[in-house]
Amino acid sequence: MSTDSDLIHFFNGIPFTTRSSAELLKSLDAFQAREDDILLVSYPKSGTHWLAEIMKHLYTAKVTLTSPIEFGDVSKLEEMDNIGTKRIIPTHLGYDMLPGDFKAKKCKAIYIIRNPKDTAVSLFHYYKDNPNLPTIGMWSTYFDMFLQGQVVCGSWFDHILSWEEHRNEMGTLFLYYESMKKNPFKSVRKISSYLGINMNDNEIHEICKKTSFSEMKDNVEKEVSDPNHTVCSLTSNRRLIFRKGTVGEWKQYFSTKQNRLFDELYNTKMNASCLAKNIHYEN
């Protein structure tokens, strides 16, 4: 059985799984971006797979949806270089760790944000059911880890704030999970406009249908996925990803005290954030 230290290591003070080798993380700055690369950015469990699925349907020409840029070992750079089509590249990296060439080339980036309380609950389940992540025990223990940013990819707050601080450098498009659920049509339209893809209303409706939670969950059973080439890469068990897909589940987990602690930290950290105005934050 793997021990926690086999599964997690720290890089720049951030916990990464050992699926992201230290050598790869060190060499990321040598990564050669292309002007037409598109980044799908998220803190884990914010709806990355959903966004990725929408992207696949938006392009009619062949594109390659890669595994996250930070997953794998040093051979990743060469593997990415060998891709002969347009690349859609997911990442959970904070802005400061993003390879500089993406910034220099001003690549398009779409960042999906989910309210942090539901994100925390979703990540809790992911930890619990995923043998590639350390055992975390009870919700209360995990809750403290989440607040302190001691979970994979570090602090939710630092992640989002790092991307917000540099939002204009790459013209990042920010999307909100809850708004996408409420009005997927509007969100898909927004993405297609951002990417300069022309779509008529019927085509957009079709994409919304194909990427609904129920449709994607149903399709999970039919797919065989290779963990080295999926959006997540921490599991080949897609059932871990399409769990509930709801808004507000956190209410069944947070105690009154935990909720107060969370709100206090949120208010302190997000005080000056413009994005916070659009986040579906529930007290």
Contact set with ligand A3P (CB under 6 A): 42, 44-50, 118, 122, 125, 181, 211-213, 216, 232, 241-245
* Minimum CB distance to ligand A3P smaller for 87 or for 117: 117
What order of strands is seen across the sheet that includes strand 63-65? Answer: 63-65, 86-91, 38-42, 108-113, 173-176
| Closest distance of CB 217 from ligand A3P, Å | 7
User: Which is the catalytic residue, given 57, 92, 166, 280?
Assistant: 92
Min dist. Cβ of residue 49 to ligand A3P (A): 4
Q: Give CA–CA dist 64/168, Å, rounded.
A: 26
CB 14 within 8 A of CB 65: no
| Cβ-contact 191, 173 below 8 angstroms | yes
Q: What minimum distance in Å lies between the beta carbon of 263 and ligand A3P?
A: 20
Is 92 one of the catalytic residues? yes
Query: Strand, helix or coil at 247?
Result: coil
Q: Which is nearer to ligand A3P, 169 or 282 (CB)?
A: 282
DSSP of 46-90: SSHHHHHHHHHHH--S-EEEPPPTTSB-THHHHHHHT--SEEEEE
Instruction: Name residue 181's amino acid.
Output: K
CB 82, min distance to ligand A3P, A = 26
Residues classed as catalytic: 92
